[in-house]
Amino acid sequence: MTVWLPVLLPVLVGVTTFLLGETRERLRVLVNLAGAVLSSGVVIALVVRAYDGAVAGSSVEMLPGLALSLEADLLGLLFSAVATVLWAVTLVYAFGYMAHAENRARFFGFFALCIASANGVALSADLLGLFVFYELLTLATYPLVVHSGTDEALVAGRRYLYYALSGGAALLLGVVWLYAIAGTVPFTPGGALGAVAGRTGELRAIFALLAGGFGVKAALVGLHRWLPGAMVAPAPVSALLHAVAVVKAGAFGMVRLVNEVYGPELATSLGVAQPLAAIAAITILFGSIVALRQDDIKRRLAYSTIAQLSYITLGVALCSPLAAVGAVAHLAHHAVMKITMFFSAGSLAETHHIKRLSALDGVGHLMPATMASFAAASFGLAGIPPFAGFFSKWPLGAGAAESGQVWATLLFVTSGALAVGYLAPFLVRAVRPAAAAREPGAESDPRMLWPIVIVGALSLVLGLLAGVPGSPLDWAARAVAPSYAGWSPW
Amino acid sequence: MNLVAHLPVIVIMMPLIGASIAFVAGPRRAPLVTVATAVLTIAPVAWLGARVLAEGPTRYEIGGWGGPLGIVLVADGLSAAFLGLVAIVGLGVTLYATGYYRVATGSRPGPGHGLYWTLWLFMWSSLNALLLTGDVFNVYVCLELVGLSAVALVTLAEGAEPLRAAMRYLFASILGAMTYLLGVALLYAATGVLDMRMLADSLGPSVAAETGLALMVAALLLKTALVPMHFWLPTAHAAAPSPVSAALSALVVKGSFFVTLRLFLDVMPAGYLGGADVLIGVLGAVAIVWGSIQALLQERIKLLVAYSTVAQVGYLFLLFPLARHGGEVLSAALLGVLVHALAHAFAKSSMFLAAGVTLKRFGHDRIADLPGTARRAPVIAATFALAGVTMMGLPPSGGFGAKWLIASAALASGEWWWAAVVLVGGLLASAYMFRLLAVFMAAPGGRPLPVGGVRTLRTEWVPLALAAASFLLVLAVPLVTRLAEASAVVAQAGGVVP
Amino acid sequence: MSTTVLYPLLGAALFALGVWGLLARKHLIHKVIAANFLGSGVFLVLIGLAGRTAGADPDPVPLAMVLTGIVVTVALTALALALIKRYYSATGLDTLEPAEEAEQ
């Protein structure tokens, strides 16, 4: 039953927040923080058990012969832990950021429902459950995207829905079809379709539908257009949902799809992994190059997200064990680094009304702690050791080379250089002397500052501790190894 | 006296007696009588359902007169499911109506306050009779009774437009009923029986019987408002008072659909009226697309919701082309359609009731003029959101369960295009529901607060509860499955779970 | 020509006339009359059925159906007339859609 708690606790928090209403501020803060801390505790307890090899699972019958099943395996827990722990951090930030905003009950309520859905995506034991929570995630995010109610937000929200719901429809068709030919398909490391492997035509079509469905949230090129627009949402939403929960749900779906539904072997022999890898590679280049040209800070970060997400997709689509480890580790590393950047961007906008890169001159003197955290995250994202990003990019590149796909290694190196290109201007401008005198007052509200410093420090700490058991890298290696029979990271 | 044996009659008589008492009690006491009746009706319906689950389908001969002359009532899993639906939604509608038709102390009851209760209970009783009747002529009588009370209920709204809508509804209703009766006449000429079970045994290849059944089915499609015979529905459902709209859209169209189901699955042998099943399926698909597009174009909430009914009714008819395949496909499709009928009823009634509150609070239901509703009337917005999820067929709503089952049946039958229709319908529903929800979420701008301020009305909780029921209906699917298995046709097909 | 052929044929003709009237005629009273044509058509068919076995007693079932049908039709007609009266006093119109000239 414990395995349901990471889903049910946030649901409870969300519903309570709605019922508390707009005015009971203190109680809302208390309920949300307590819920987040408690959920994090549950997830960590599940992780400890999973490290010992005990996988908790539970299911409820939903449709005849079809159950909604959750299972706390290491791969799912990695995503769940990232979402839940960062939820707690983001809450603190959001209390500061939203202090004077309207409709806070609605905001925090849906926020909690998003985390519940993300945890459902993470812990689902089969495609049906994953689909159910994937769609719930879309629904729970919509009110957050359009939170301000402005025309711009409504347009962005509409576009988000078009993409996400069309992707959901493709996903549904793929899942129903797969179930029609293969019955329930529980996630099985190495693949679960051995019995129907002969139906190649159908399996290829289903793969295309499923990858297309996940590709919307994972922002593959062509399906990415909702993401930059969705950045009109309040900064904590961009930070947690668009760098962590929503987009990672798509990337995570890709990992499940390749490693645990089809399995690397079948995906390669069907010839479906290679096109996916190619699309992901194009997305990486596309996102990085477009990011270079953005002046709006959040848009630049959004395109960077598009590029970085495809590291994960490409990593699993290469079907090399080491690259897959890098991909899964990147799921966690990128979350920590990108959330730092979005938090910082939110602080800049909220405290100093800076929304453009060109207005950033001298900000480093004004907000040293914020910009130092931003720098730590930037170094990580560019893949500079010993920051966290290095420890996902190295196995990615090494895995690609090891499996004879040197083009991918070169691509990772190139995009690392491009990342330097689109991130360096932030740091260069920040340390420049200010063009105009700025009002003092400097760093933002401590409720916003401390979360930034914590996640910024994590970008370094996760890298320094990459070799320690329990670090994202070690965790990813353990989660991925079973998908590759005969391969061991040690 | 053995009460259990008489349950089918009690289920019909309970609202009928309530209707008579409500009429005598007068406008002030009628609401109480109606609520009491609604609560009391749940017991025999639940009892009957439990009995069907335990002992299988039962037949009841009124007054001990069996066929071919007497009137026979049949209760099986299908009728029990629909009776339960009518009872639950009926209770919700009744509770809501007590707030909607509240007579302020010291003021005189307005028009419609007195007649609503009697007519509504009368329609309820007729619907129950329609769901239980075992012979095709009685279906005609019940259809007329439902139609008469429904038309009268529509006219309770004030103004000329409801009258116009009611007359259009009445003429469509007469056309349908008379066509149905002509069909019955031809069928009787060919077979000499009216009892459904006897008909099932004696139907053979015969021009008269086939023409008769074709006329009957066509009439039922008109009553269920299958495109292109839907012309009467949007105006009638939108013009009626909200508690009436809810009952019409959620329950009344399901009544005639239920009879269509009986004719196709229980009376006609497989393959009878060759080709009609596919034609009906195609019309259903057209209805889904056409109704959704029309819903997308409407300027008023009640019309949007009414056109959404035209679209959602289409899903029900996807059953017939799939039923042809028999076995597992039939069972899955029938269960899917059953779940859809239930989910749609909960969601649709909640939306019409919420639209009624919108009208009361804001004085209009023009979509473009409702920005900020999510803030000013969060319960209304939440109702539309939860019900909308069912319309879209997204998990975990009943609509999702239905669409999953229908799509699975379609893919298992090899006719994947029906699954595609289901998915496209879901996307179109998202388009028209989110068009509404986006306005609710929009910043209110400088518009003044509505009459009544931001206080939540008591009547707003009923639609929210119904919407929540539709949102979580997947949880009830195991029960619905057992009920479906307690119907003859699914039992023959080998059960729902293979 | 025997009643078994004559009655159903006549009934069908009346029914067709009724359908046409109900759909094509605009005036509301015409529509009500057309609706009664529909009913009478069906009843004729049923009465023809009751006497189809020459020499034997008439079959009571169709006659019972006709009786029920007549009752229902009377009720429908009454309701329709009441609605038309209310509608006419509210709008002054005797058709469902306002005529083109009326709008100008």
pLDDT in tens, A385-438: 899 999 999 999 999 999 999 999 999 999 999 999 999 999 999 888 876 655
A362 has pLDDT over 90: no
pLDDT digits (tens, 9 = 90+) for A145-204: 999 888 899 999 999 999 999 999 999 999 999 998 898 889 999 998 988 988 999 999
Give residue C101's pLDDT. Answer: 44
∠ CA A220-A7-B377, nearest 5°, is 90
Q: What share of chain B is helix, strand, coil (3-state, %, to 5)?
A: 75, 5, 20
Residue C31 in contact with residue C21, Cβ under 8 Å? Answer: yes
To test the contact with chain B by mutation, choose from A63, A159, A178 the residue with the greatest count of B C-beta atoms within 10 A, namely A63
pLDDT digits (tens, 9 = 90+) for B179-192: 999 999 999 999 98
End-to-end alpha-carbon separation of chain C, Å?
Answer: 55
- Give percent of chain B above pLDDT 70: 92
Domain for residue A488, yes or no? no
Q: What domain count does chain C have? A: 1
| Torsion from C-alpha of A249, A198, A276, A125, nearest 10 degrees | 10
C75 contact residues in B (CB cutoff 8 A): 144, 148
A59 has pLDDT over 80: yes
The three-state secondary structure class of A97 is helix
pLDDT digits (tens, 9 = 90+) for A246-304: 999 999 999 999 999 999 999 999 999 999 999 999 999 999 999 999 999 999 999 99
Residues in chain B: 498
Provide the token pair at B416.
Answer: 């994947």
Residue A232 in contact with residue A147, Cβ under 8 Å? Answer: no
Give residue B360's pLDDT. Answer: 86
The residue ranking higher by pLDDT, A360 or C100, is A360
Range of the structural domain that residue A247 is part of: 2-483
Provide the token pair at A224.
Answer: 């990415």
**Predicted structure pTM score:** 0.92
- Give percent of chain A above pLDDT 90: 75
pLDDT digits (tens, 9 = 90+) for B59-109: 888 887 766 667 889 999 999 999 999 999 999 999 999 988 876 666 776
- Give percent of chain A above pLDDT 70: 98
Q: What domain count does chain A have? A: 1
Q: Which of A348, A332, A246, A250 is nearest to A296 (CA)?
A: A348
Q: Which of B254, B249, B318 is nearest to B289 (CA)?
A: B318
The three-state secondary structure class of B67 is coil
Give residue B3's pLDDT. Answer: 79
Interface contact flag, A143 B441, Cβ < 8 Å: yes
To test the contact with chain B by mutation, choose from A17, A103, A162, A176 the residue with the greatest count of B C-beta atoms within 10 A, namely A176
Residue B74 CA from chain centroid, whole number: 19
Interface contact flag, C62 B185, Cβ < 8 Å: yes
C94 has pLDDT over 50: yes
C11 has pLDDT over 60: yes
Range of the structural domain that residue C49 is part of: 3-103
CATH number at residue C64: 1.10.287.3510
Give residue B377's pLDDT. Answer: 86
Mean local confidence (pLDDT), A206-230: 94
Provide the token pair at B153.
Answer: 């209920």
Residue B170 one-letter amino acid: L
B177 contact residues in C (CB cutoff 8 A): 72
Provide the token pair at A79.
Answer: 């995503």
B448 has pLDDT over 80: no
User: Using CB atoms, which residue from B151, B166, B182 is nearest to C15?
Assistant: B182
Q: Which of A63-67, A74-78, B414-418, C63-67 has the lowest mean pLDDT?
A: A63-67
Write out the residues of chain A at the interface with chain B, using a CB-CB cutoff of 8 A. 18, 61-66, 68, 102-103, 106, 131-132, 135-136, 138-139, 142-143, 146, 148-151, 154, 157-158, 161, 165-166, 168-169, 172-173, 176-177, 179-180
- Mean pLDDT, chain B, rounded, equals 90
Provide the token pair at B341.
Answer: 């009928």
Interface contact flag, B155 C86, Cβ < 8 Å: yes
Q: Which of A452, A393, A416, A392 is nearest to A96 (CA)?
A: A452
B195 touches chain C (CB under 8 A): no
Domain for residue A489, yes or no? no
Give residue B68's pLDDT. Answer: 65
Interface contact flag, A154 B474, Cβ < 8 Å: no
B172 contact residues in C (CB cutoff 8 A): none
C103 pLDDT band, cuts 50/70/90, is: very low
Interface contact flag, A136 B394, Cβ < 8 Å: yes
Chains B, C: CB pairs < 8 Å: 85
A66 pLDDT band, cuts 50/70/90, is: confident
Provide the token pair at B259.
Answer: 């009879």
B437 touches chain C (CB under 8 A): no
Residue B36 in contact with residue B117, Cβ under 8 Å? Answer: no
**What is d(CA B425, CA B450) in angstroms, rounded to the nearest whole number?**
34
Residue C10 in contact with residue C47, Cβ under 8 Å? Answer: no
Interface contact flag, C90 B160, Cβ < 8 Å: yes
Mean local confidence (pLDDT), A434-458: 80
What distance separates the 2 farthest-apart alpha carbons in chain A?
A: 70
Cα atoms in the Cβ-side hemisphere of radius 13 Å centred on B227: 25
Tell me phi and psi for residue A58, to 5 degrees. -165, 145
B141 touches chain C (CB under 8 A): yes
Q: Which of A47, A137, A138, A134 is nearest to A85 (CA)?
A: A47
Provide the token pair at A15.
Answer: 């519903």
Interface contact flag, B167 C76, Cβ < 8 Å: no
Interface contact flag, B423 A173, Cβ < 8 Å: yes
Interface contact flag, B395 A135, Cβ < 8 Å: yes
A475 has pLDDT over 60: yes
Mean local confidence (pLDDT), B436-464: 74
**CA closest to A102 among chain B residues:** B375
Neighbours of chain B (3+ CB pairs under 8 A): A, C
The three-state secondary structure class of B62 is helix
Mean local confidence (pLDDT), B348-353: 97
**What is d(CA B109, CA B225) in angstroms, rounded to the nearest whole number?**
34
User: Using CB atoms, which residue from B394, B438, B474 is nearest to A158?
Assistant: B438
Domain ranges for chain B, please list them: 278-498
| Torsion from C-alpha of A140, B470, B490, B494, nearest 10 degrees | 30
Tell me phi and psi for residue A468, to 5 degrees. -80, 140
Tell me phi and psi for residue A321, to 5 degrees. -60, -45
**CA closest to A15 among chain B residues:** B382
